[in-house]
Every structure is written in C-alpha cells, then in structure tokens.
Structure 1
Amino acid sequence: MLYDFEGQELDNAIQLEGANGELITEDGNTRYFIEFDTINNYKSSVKFKPKQNWDWSDEGQFAFALDIENPIDRSIHFYVTATDASGKTHNRSLSIPENSSGTYYLELEGPDLDTETGIRNNPESWISDYTAIIWRWGVKKIDLANVASIEFKLLGVPETKQIIIDNARIIKPDDIDENYLVGLVDEFGQNAKRDFVGKVESLEELIAVSEKEQNHLRKTPLEGRSKYNGWAEGPKLKATGYFRTEKVDGKWWMVDPEGYLFFSNGIANVRMANTSTITGYDFDSQFIKQRDPNDKTPEDSIGLNRVPDAAIPSRYVSSQLRAKMFEWLPDYDEELGQHYGYRRSVFMGAIDKGETYSFYQANLARKYKSNDPKVFMEKWRTTTVDRMLTWGFTSFGNWVDPSYYQLNRFPYFANGWIIGDFKTLSSGNDLWSALPDVFDPVFEERALATAKQIGIEVQNNPWCVGVFVDNEKSWGMENPSSDKINVAAVYGIPINTLTLDASKSPAKAVYVDVLRKKYGTIEKLNASWEQENASWEALAKGVKVTEFNDALVEDLSNLLTVYAEQYFRVVRNAVKKYLPNHMYMGARFADWGMTDEVRRAAAKYADVMSYNYYKEGISDNFWHFLKDLDKPSVIGEWHNGSTDSGMLNAGLIHASSQQDRAKRYKQYMEGVLERPYFVGAHWFQYNDGPLTGRAYDGENYNVGFVSGTDIPYAPLVEAAKEVNNSLYEKRYKN
C-alpha cells in the first residue's frame, strides 16, 4: 500500500495542477475527492510524487494500481504517465465509465513489456479482475529503481470532471497467460478470444447483415441539400463552378460550386492501404521490387502491393510470434488468397518488412459473393457513398481512394505526399520522418511532381473540394498548458540547422545569408547572441547553440518563419500550377507539432488551415490563435473508440462504450459547429484498424464507423445522423 488516506500524512505526495482536492470520509472509509478545473486549464492533473523516488526494482512482475470512482454521468479519458529520475516516461491512457467504480492497473514489469509484437496495445497477459491501462507511447522499461512520479492528467477537456480515488498500491498478477498472443485472430479478422456485440459467427450471417443494410441506403443527398451537399435552403452566393471560401456575417464558410454554403463533415481514410496487417511471413528478397526514387506514394499509402507469383514458393516464417497470432490464413492459390500484400518497410513493429493480409478486403469479397476485384470494389465504393449520403455526411475527409474521384456523386479531398531524394533537416523530435530541406531545388522538383500527379488524378473535377499535401510534420512543439517557451522544443528546426555545414545544406546557407544581411559583421551577431564565433565562415561551418537570450530567440523565430514560408510557398505554387481551381488545404498540423511561426506562415499561403486534434472536445484554452489568424480552418483528424468492440485498443481518445462513443461524437461536433472559424471536421477513420495492427505502424484502434467486417457501429451512426440532419441550421443560426 502506498496511499490509503487513512490518517496518512501526505506531505505534498499528492500534487494537483488545475484541480482541487479534499479528503472525504464515508462509513469510516477516507478517500480523496478531486475536481478538475478543465474549463480554465488546458491541463488538469493529479500526480503521485514521493519524498524519495520509489525503488521497485525488486518487485518482480508488478503494477501500480488505483481505485477510481467516477461519480458523474460522463466518462473520463485519462492520460497516465510514469516518470523515472532521468525523465524517461512510460505513457498509457484509460477511460473511466460514467457513474462507475473500479480498480485500474499500470503494468510496469512483466513479460509483455519485453515483447515487441507490432501491435500498439497487446491483449492482456495478466490474469486479473482489474482493468489494464492501455499502452500509448514512450519507454516501456523505465528505471524502476528510481520512479519519480505517476500522473493522471486531462488535456483539452471542455467540461469539468470529478473522481474519487483510494488505495494507491502495488499489485501482482494472479497468473500470466503464456499464450496471450496465440490464436488471437479468427477467419474474419476478429478477436477469437472474446465475445462482443456485432461479432460475426458465420459467412451466412455476414451476408445477411449486409443485404439487410442495403435495403435502407439512399442514393441522393438529404432533403434541403444541393447537388454537392451544400445548404440549398440557405443563402445563395456567387457560384464559381468550384469550391471556395467566404466569410458570411462574421463566420467562415466553404461555398459549393453552385454557390451554396457548405460545411465539410466527413470521414477520412476510405481506402485499402491501411487495412492490412503483418502476418509473420516473408519471401526471398530477390523477388521483391524495391522502391524507385521517383515514387510519389509512401509505403503506407500504397495498396496491398502483392508479391509476384514467382516469389510465393520462397515463402517462409520470419516471425513465429506474428504467425501464431492467426487461427487462419488462406493459401495463395485459394480465392481469398488474393488479399495478401507486402510491405517493403514499416515504421515500427516486430519485423521490419514482410507479407501482409487484409481481412477487411477479404470480408468485402465474402459479403458481396465475388472474388473479382472489379465486382467487390465497385460494390464497396457504391455502398460507401450510399452510406455517406444516408448518414448525412457532406464530403469525405483526407485519404480517400482515387477511384472515388470521378464518380461525381460525393465531394472529396485529394491528397499527396512530397517524397524524394532531397536533403533533409531535423526538429530534434521527428516523429514520422525527417523534415525536407525546402531550399534544396530537388524539393521543389518533387513538389511539382506530386502536384502534377494529383492533377492527373483529379482531372479538374469540381467534386474535389481541395488538396491536402503532407501530414503531421514535426515543425516544433509548443506546450499549450504553459506560458513558458521551451526554446529547444519550439525552435528545433533552426537550432539543428545551424549545426550543419552551409556547403552541404541549402537551408543553412540561406540562414547564414539572412543573418549576414541583418547584422553585417560577425561581431554584431556575437554581441547580440552573447557568443564568440570567429567569423561568418566559422558560423557557416556549423555552430551549436545551447544558451538562449532574447535576441537569439528572436532570430530563431525569424529563421523558423523563413523555413516555413518557403515550404508553404513552394507547395502552394505547385498545387496552383496543376490544380488552379482547387483550394490548397495545408499540411494538417498535429496539435503536438506546430508553432505560432509555422501557423502564420501557413496562413499566408493555404486557402484553408488544417489541424489534427485528438481530444474529447473543442477547448477554447487551446484554440486561442484562430481569432488572430482569421482563416477558415478544418479539423483534419479526430476520433474516439472503445474496447467493448472486441478490439485491443480504443484509439487516441477513449470512450467507455459504443454508446459513449456516440455521446462524445455529438459533443465534439457541437463544439466545432459553434465556432466561427471552422468550416469542416473529418473523422479518422472509416473502418477499424486490423486487430493485430496495421502493417505500417501497428495501429489497432476501434475508431471506425464500421468494423473490420464492414458492419456499421449503430450508436455512432445514429449520432452522426442526428448531427448531420440539422448541421446547417445549427451552424448558421447559432
């Protein structure tokens, strides 16, 4: 027992931020009540912090456990972080259901933490009556001899939350399931070890559910909508034949090609590229076609990418761990064997390349009674558009398969990535990939090649709302919960670029030129920065800055602006050259990876700003910059999920159930609709991730509007219908 609050001297061991707490005693039992002031604080938290760091190095297999009661009628999503003395963090998250009480545990030592499975969150290896807290990111094996704190925090929550905690303690598992990763996936790609609502038990059931749904799908937009899903009953503005933006009565809107007000509420990632999972098999590399430096599509955006038939005889087990997860995989010469694919590289996982299988695509072939891709893919597209119209959505989001582009039934966004053999830079925290050196002429060449390819796919089609290019780049990391600037985190791009040799780095050469024009002499720069650079030539060779005064921070800010403006200028020019009639939608900033300088640079060149924002709702203490920028903006990604679907991971935001997902959907969308700068919000994604993780990075989230068997989640669909049926009236009249 660490803290049971029974006459215990806490001595600041329970630290609150943006919250208030008090001991309460009921029936002789003392517990700790906490109210989180999330309305006035972006971050609210409770932290367990001992006088001396905990030494749990001799505990064996153990977890930190806590009794939590949620007395309110709304679920609570917590981020949970264990931090050691060196600052390494072990990060998880959980959902506390509304009006509930239970025990939740944070596993800190056990066999699962030593196993790389290629799944974002594994099935539970512990046999326990308590609820495991889901893995997110960080270091799985922190220094258990020096555990400095364990924190439960809320971020960006737009409503007050309350909990009652008790009995913070160390627990051991009742037992360990040695086969927790064996036989995990059934023939439909579902969790073979759990029962849940909506689980498909037979092919006949899958077909029957599909045929029943088909009888209730519509083929045209909702009443009161225009051809393009604009608001036909609202104000009529100038029609240009293409989508555009306009501010009306102080509120930003998109405008459809016919001149009607348009708000883009849709679902992103409607494609097969992310539906496959690594099987644990591979082939002789001589048969695998390697990437061409002129490729325009990243590995994770390519379709299944099946190996040639000549490779099949060389198939071998490359990971017993992965191969044993599947109860069933077809032979290549079976009809369902056509749903195999291949990944030449992965972002993270148990193995760095290998065979994949798409249970989702196989289920489409099953339900539509045809293994001919022309048949089942056409029926998939038709059903998907019919669903969007029936559910009241107005457009797709990003990453819709280009085969939808010329259907002329439903608005969409085109997309592309700038990849190629250009020089790169680093922000010091490059999550997905290194940043491009945007002053390298090859970057502009590749931007033009990307835009040209998008233009070929779009064909100047008026159903294309706009174009997204790139995604979630690591521009820099602000801390919205603090007024203090972490200079190294915010200005990592210029700081790291300054260390480079200008003769090898186009960006560094530009930076030196900018500084020379400002200061003239190296002596003036040294005086301003309080440094001792011998000459401009020495600065050009590379300089490491670790101490930051106000003048240096001001210059770093300017250099970051110079970099960001070049990026957005080059990309915009490329898009407008090949798609002059379509809006440039920006690069979809992640809330963890943007700065004021980069936002302002994007605002100069993007027609619409785009942000990916995974939180419970829209919180004003984060979105303060919208008014200053005064630009039409879309939420490019958001979602929630729950593990009652049989999935192993709820997603980036946890709900307590499918019904709670629906409740959260309405709350989030209401927050978007009532703010004058948002002109759209795109849910990520259409279907759940594979149970054993998508091939590229292991995401295995219950964040789909449909399951891996392509069956809609009824509560979420009904919530979307409710929002979408009155979407325009609510937004216009609010």
Structure 2
Amino acid sequence: MNQLDYFGGTEQKKFEATGFFRIQEEGKRQWLIDPEGNVFISVGLNHLDDSNLKYHYNLNIWKEKYSSNKDKWIREGLVKDMKDWGFNTIGWTQEYISGDWGKALDWGVNINLGHSTPWSAADYRTANMPYVLQLRVAEIEDWNGQPNFPDVYSREFDVYAEWLARSICADHADSQNLIGYFFVDIASWQDHASGRDFPQLEGLEKEERDRKVFDIASKYYEVVTKHIRSYDKNHLILGDRYNGNKVIPTPVLKAMKPYVDVFSVQYFPANNEEGYRQMHEDLKKWHEITEKPVLIADIGNSCKTEMNPDRVYDLDGQAARAQDYIDSLRPLLNEPWFIGWHWCAYVENTARGWGCKTPFDKPYEEFVGPVREFNNKVYDNILK
C-alpha cells in the first residue's frame, strides 16, 4: 500500500508543496495536489450530522457513548470511522431532515427537502481532516419547493455574496485542511419543478434563453468568486454541485469556465453496467466542455434495511451495495480528469434510509469491509 502523508495524499507522486490544496496539470493529467505537494484523491463522506443519533430510538447512544458531546462524537466516532474505512475528506455535513423522500427522488414535484445546519469552523478544527465548504449563494436547488431566483445583476445579490464570503471564507482562508468551496447543491438552471426561473429568463424561447442564461450564469459566477477571492486567495472554487441526473445546460458550463476550478457534480447511476457506462460518458462529456477536473460531489446507493424495509431499490443487501460502490467508481480511477468522489451517507436515518452505519451506530460490515479494501487501494490503481 502507498505511504500516505498527513492529509491522506500519496508520497509516491510529488509536486511542489504550496501549503494548500490545488490543481496541477501534467500533460493531459489533472491532479488534485495536497498541501505537502502529494497527489490526493478526495474520497469523501457526506451527510455528517450528529442529529442522526438524537432520535428517540437512539438518543441513549448519543448520551452514553458520546457523552452528549459533539467534539467527542467527531473525534471518537466520525473521524475514527472515516480513517478506518479509507475516507480522507469531510464532505457535505448537512443532512436531509424533511419531505417525502420517495417523491423527491424524481425531483419532479414541488416539495421542500429541508436540510440541517452545516458545521462550524470549530467543528472542522476538531476533526482536523481535509474538508469542503458550501456557500449557499442562491436558494435555487432542484429539491427546494419554494426557490428564490435572485437578480444576479442587482446590488442586493452583490451585497449578499460579499456577506457570505465575509462570514464564511474569512474564518477558513488560512486552513491547510480546506480543499475548496461549493456553491448551490444541485442548482436548477432550467425546468424547476415549481415553474419558477431567473426573472430575465421568463418567457424566452430556447435560442434566446441559451444566450441569456450564459450571461446570467457568467454574472453569477463572477460576483460570487470575486468576493471569495477578496477574502481567500488560497483555496479552490468547486462551484455548484450540478445535478448529473438532469440536463446541465451547456451555456452554464461554458459560463463557469473562467471562474471555477473544478467541475463538481452529483450523480446517482443505475446499478448496472449500462448505468456505470452512462455516468462515465456523461462525466467525460462535461469535462470536455468545461476543461476542468471532475469531482463527483455526491453518489450513493441503498437497499432494504430493518429500519427502512420499504426502500425501493434493486440492490439485495449490504454486500451488493459494496459491489455497486466498487463497480461504479473503479472505471473512473485512471481517467486523467478524475479527482475523487464523496459518498452518501454516514449514519442511516428514517428519512434517508441509507448509510455506512445502522441507526444504532453500528457499521454495516458487509458494506464497509469491501469499501475499506477498495478505498485503501485507490492510489495503487491510479499510479499503476
């Protein structure tokens, strides 16, 4: 197994150490480089929220095992698990807490899927691992039943973007553990289920809409990145976490190119060879449009469990989930544009119905065993 550095990068492939995460091009290869100058594949875990251990049925675990203390849970629960299973990045820390999950999977209904509060800067210092942050620059998520599409040309949007950068980036600008900043979680750049849209796009036909959406997206990315860079010149701009299971307008991808460092996308493939191949082809296509390295910012699967026996999914058990994890990701490892993935999710709850651990804080061993072995061989695969 490769010798890993403090951050989880491999010491077998080195570049200049700058003290921060960055992108390095080597021929056609785009590498994510850690602060020590070593190649880093971001193997992240998403939905890291202590409230999943505060339901009535498992509150005793939170009190007895973790002494009702978030710092203890982070250090002795989450970080210990992540390192044991071969995950090196703290991904999206918010958790889905409301709404009708079955209907919401299609993103075709006007329903608000509420999310919990993100971690504080102190929480990330406690974890002391590589991490990513989100700046919710607009309430335009596909899952948002009541979206608010801002006027990106307005002074109000500029002031709000400056406030986000001031309130978040200022506290993380010097962190060596921070990889970079996401914007909106599956931002809706067309066909929102609510029928709402950016005010300048309403009523436009396709050709005219494409021209205008490029202009709107360009302004959107310009304003947000301008304010991030005024407080933080050290970290990557990861951009919107696009919805890969929905059309991503090409004008938006072209608009983001001058401002964003990484193409970030959420993608949940069908759990078969055709589904894996389709995801692979889509990621390659989006890379060719954006010319950016690709990070799968959210990917996952599920099966029926004791807590969630009515889950509708083709995978038959935790071992099948693990094989799907491996089969969906392995073909991407040697792509010159692929820099990692963030897995959904940590602890199963009654709403989400999937995770690496049961609702009673016990690992699904048939899942985490093969996942651990695969994660620990990632660098062997990409450097062979």
User: Structure 1 length as normaliser, TM-score?
Assistant: 0.44
Distance change >3 Å, CA 404–CA 360, structure 1 → 2: farther
Structure 1 residues 470-509: aligned runs within 5 Å: 470-476=184-190, 493=197, 497=200, 499=202
1:391 counterpart = 2:45: no
Distance change >3 Å, CA 599–CA 380, structure 1 → 2: same
CA shift, 1:450, in A, is 1.2
Distance change >3 Å, CA 241–CA 474, structure 1 → 2: same
Contact preservation (8 Å) 1:672, 1:681: no
Spell out, residue by residue over 1:84-137, the C-alpha distance to the aligned partner (whole angstroms, 9 max, x if none).
xxxxxxxxxxxxxxxxxxxxxxxxxxxxxxxxxxxxxxxxxxxxxxxxxxxxxx
In the alignment, which residue of structure 1 is the partner of 2:154? 440
In the alignment, which residue of structure 2 is the partner of 1:350? none
In the alignment, which residue of structure 2 is the partner of 1:21? none
CA distance in 2 between counterparts of 1:669 and 1:428 reads: 25
Spell out, residue by residue over 1:695-720, the C-alpha distance to the aligned partner (whole angstroms, 9 max, x if none).
xxxxx233211122111111221122
In the alignment, which residue of structure 2 is the partner of 1:415? 134
Structure 1 residues 538-577: aligned runs within 5 Å: 544=203, 548=205, 553-577=206-230
CA shift, 1:570, in A, is 1.1
In the alignment, which residue of structure 2 is the partner of 1:264? 42
CA distance in 1 between counterparts of 2:214 and 2:62 reads: 47
Task: Tell me which of 697, 715, 719 is aligned to 2:370.
Answer: 719
CA distance in 2 between counterparts of 1:237 and 1:604 reads: 24
CA distance in 1 between counterparts of 2:178 and 2:143 reads: 34
In the alignment, which residue of structure 2 is the partner of 1:52? none
CA shift, 1:413, in A, is 0.8
1:670 counterpart = 2:322: no
CA shift, 1:241, in A, is 0.4
In the alignment, which residue of structure 1 is the partner of 2:70? 377
Spell out, residue by residue over 1:313-344, the C-alpha distance to the aligned partner (whole angstroms, 9 max, x if none).
xxxxxxxxxxxxxxxxxxxxxxxxxx5xxxxx
CA shift, 1:492, in A, is 8.1
CA shift, 1:668, in A, is 1.5
1:600 counterpart = 2:284: no
CA distance in 2 between counterparts of 1:272 and 1:587 reads: 25
Structure 1 residues 352-363: aligned runs within 5 Å: 357=55, 359=57, 362-363=60-61
Distance change >3 Å, CA 427–CA 388, structure 1 → 2: closer
Distance change >3 Å, CA 576–CA 593, structure 1 → 2: farther
Task: Tell me which of 61, 64, 69 is aligned to 1:366.
Answer: 64
More helix by share: 2
Distance change >3 Å, CA 606–CA 269, structure 1 → 2: same
Task: Give the match's secondary structure for 2:282.
Answer: coil
CA distance in 2 between counterparts of 1:639 and 1:669 reads: 11
1:585 counterpart = 2:279: no
Distance change >3 Å, CA 231–CA 614, structure 1 → 2: same
Contact preservation (8 Å) 2:79, 2:127: no
CA distance in 2 between counterparts of 1:430 and 1:392 reads: 33
CA distance in 2 between counterparts of 1:608 and 1:432 reads: 28
Contact preservation (8 Å) 2:134, 2:182: yes
CA distance in 2 between counterparts of 1:585 and 1:358 reads: 37
CA distance in 2 between counterparts of 1:415 and 1:613 reads: 18
CA shift, 1:459, in A, is 5.2
Contact preservation (8 Å) 1:473, 1:589: yes
CA shift, 1:640, in A, is 0.5
Structure 1 residues 245-264: aligned runs within 5 Å: 245-264=23-42
Contact preservation (8 Å) 1:430, 1:474: no
CA distance in 1 between counterparts of 2:354 and 2:64 reads: 23
CA distance in 2 between counterparts of 1:683 and 1:568 reads: 26
CA distance in 2 between counterparts of 1:560 and 1:417 reads: 20
Structure 1 residues 315-334: aligned runs within 5 Å: none
Contact preservation (8 Å) 1:437, 1:443: yes
CA distance in 2 between counterparts of 1:428 and 1:244 reads: 29
Contact preservation (8 Å) 1:641, 1:701: no
Spell out, residue by residue over 1:49-82, the C-alpha distance to the aligned partner (whole angstroms, 9 max, x if none).
xxxxxxxxxxxxxxxxxxxxxxxxxxxxxxxxxx
Contact preservation (8 Å) 2:85, 2:375: yes
Contact preservation (8 Å) 1:468, 1:587: yes
Contact preservation (8 Å) 1:673, 1:730: yes
CA distance in 2 between counterparts of 1:685 and 1:633 reads: 20
Contact preservation (8 Å) 2:268, 2:299: yes
Contact preservation (8 Å) 1:408, 1:463: no
Contact preservation (8 Å) 1:265, 1:395: yes
Contact preservation (8 Å) 2:152, 2:216: yes
Task: Give the match's secondary structure for 1:405.
Answer: helix
CA distance in 1 between counterparts of 2:142 and 2:72 reads: 46
Spell out, residue by residue over 1:352-383, the C-alpha distance to the aligned partner (whole angstroms, 9 max, x if none).
xxxxx565555222334x3xx3xx32221112
Q: Which amino acid aligns with 1:710?
A: D
Identity percentage of aligned residues: 24
CA distance in 1 between counterparts of 2:255 and 2:166 reads: 24
CA shift, 1:223, in A, is 6.0
Task: From the CA coordinates, give the structure whose radius of gyration is larger.
Answer: 1
Q: Which amino acid aligns with 1:610?
A: S
CA distance in 1 between counterparts of 2:309 and 2:2 reads: 39
CA distance in 2 between counterparts of 1:723 and 1:665 reads: 9
In the alignment, which residue of structure 1 is the partner of 2:3? 224
Distance change >3 Å, CA 358–CA 672, structure 1 → 2: farther
Task: Give the match's secondary structure for 2:126.
Answer: coil
RMSD: 2.9
Contact preservation (8 Å) 1:665, 1:716: no
CA shift, 1:569, in A, is 1.0
Q: Which amino acid aligns with 1:582?
A: H
CA distance in 2 between counterparts of 1:394 and 1:497 reads: 42
Contact preservation (8 Å) 1:231, 1:261: yes
Number of residues paired by the alignment? 349
CA distance in 2 between counterparts of 1:360 and 1:464 reads: 32
Contact preservation (8 Å) 1:269, 1:397: yes
CA distance in 1 between counterparts of 2:334 and 2:299 reads: 17
Q: Which amino acid aligns with 2:322?
A: A
Structure 1 residues 144-159: aligned runs within 5 Å: none
Spell out, residue by residue over 1:437-487, the C-alpha distance to the aligned partner (whole angstroms, 9 max, x if none).
21121111111111222124425211111111221121125xxxxxxxxxx
Task: Give the match's secondary structure for 2:327.
Answer: helix
Q: Which has the higher contact order (CA 8 A, sep 6+)?
A: 2
CA distance in 2 between counterparts of 1:636 and 1:430 reads: 18
Distance change >3 Å, CA 498–CA 416, structure 1 → 2: closer
Contact preservation (8 Å) 1:643, 1:649: yes
In the alignment, which residue of structure 2 is the partner of 1:328? none
Unmatched 5+ stretches in structure 2? 94-117
Contact preservation (8 Å) 2:149, 2:196: no
CA distance in 2 between counterparts of 1:428 and 1:584 reads: 21
CA distance in 2 between counterparts of 1:240 and 1:440 reads: 37
Spell out, residue by residue over 1:518-552, the C-alpha distance to the aligned partner (whole angstroms, 9 max, x if none).
xxxxxxxxxxxxxxxxxxxxxxxxxx45xx5xxxx
User: Structure 2 length as normaliser, TM-score?
Assistant: 0.82
Q: Which runs of at least 4 in structure 1 moved beyond 6 Å after TM superposition?
A: 426-430
Task: Give the match's secondary structure for 2:125.
Answer: coil
CA distance in 1 between counterparts of 2:210 and 2:75 reads: 49
